[in-house]
Amino acid sequence: MTQPPPPQPPIRPEFGVPPMRPMPPGGGLDDPVARKRRMVLGIIGAVVGVGIPVLIVIIGVVFSLTASGTGSERWIGLSLVVLAGLAIAGPIQIIAGIVLTAVEKTRPFGVGFLIGSAVGMIILAGACFAPFFGLQ
């Protein structure tokens, strides 16, 4: 006959993880008004986060296009400005967006900022390569 397995030692929390907090009475549901307020503030933060990088890119492209010079001089200048924006401003915006996303209170703004940075880089890349494909 087989013998039962030996008893297992009690499970201890590893790495000092604190026990879970008990649920408050009433099922732990939020106040609907507070939840709606957080949702509205999150949406506003995300929209503002998307708008800021895109607005910066649009202003940069408009200023680049209004520069003096004609023909190829203007497009070479625009390409250099846009390429500098891609190489310098893009990574800085991505790092700032990641930091803002990691902080709990600024998370919606950070996510919007990351999305806006990606959209801005797409706009910059399109403006940078437009002269090479004859889209003047």
pLDDT in tens, the chain (136 residues): 678 777 766 656 566 666 666 666 655 566 788 888 888 989 999 999 989 888 888 887 777 767 666 677 777 777 777 777 778 887 888 899 899 989 888 899 999 999 988 888 888 777 767 666 665 5
pTM of the model: 0.63
Residue 36 lies in a domain: no
- Least Cα distance to 119 among 93, 87, 98, 92 occurs for 93
Establish if 24 belongs to a structural domain. Answer: no
Question: In the chain, how many domains are there?
Answer: 1
Query: Residue 44's pLDDT is what?
Result: 93
Domain that holds residue 68: 50-136
The predicted pLDDT at position 1 comes to 60
12 located within any domain: no
Phi and psi at residue 135, in whole multiples of 5°? Answer: -95, 70
What pLDDT is stored for residue 48 in this prediction?
92
Q: Are 13 and 19 in contact (CB under 8 A)?
A: yes
Integer angstrom CA distances of residue 3 from 6, 8, 10, 79, 136? 9, 15, 21, 79, 85
| Cα distance between the two ends of the chain | 88
Q: Is 29 within the bounds of a domain? A: no
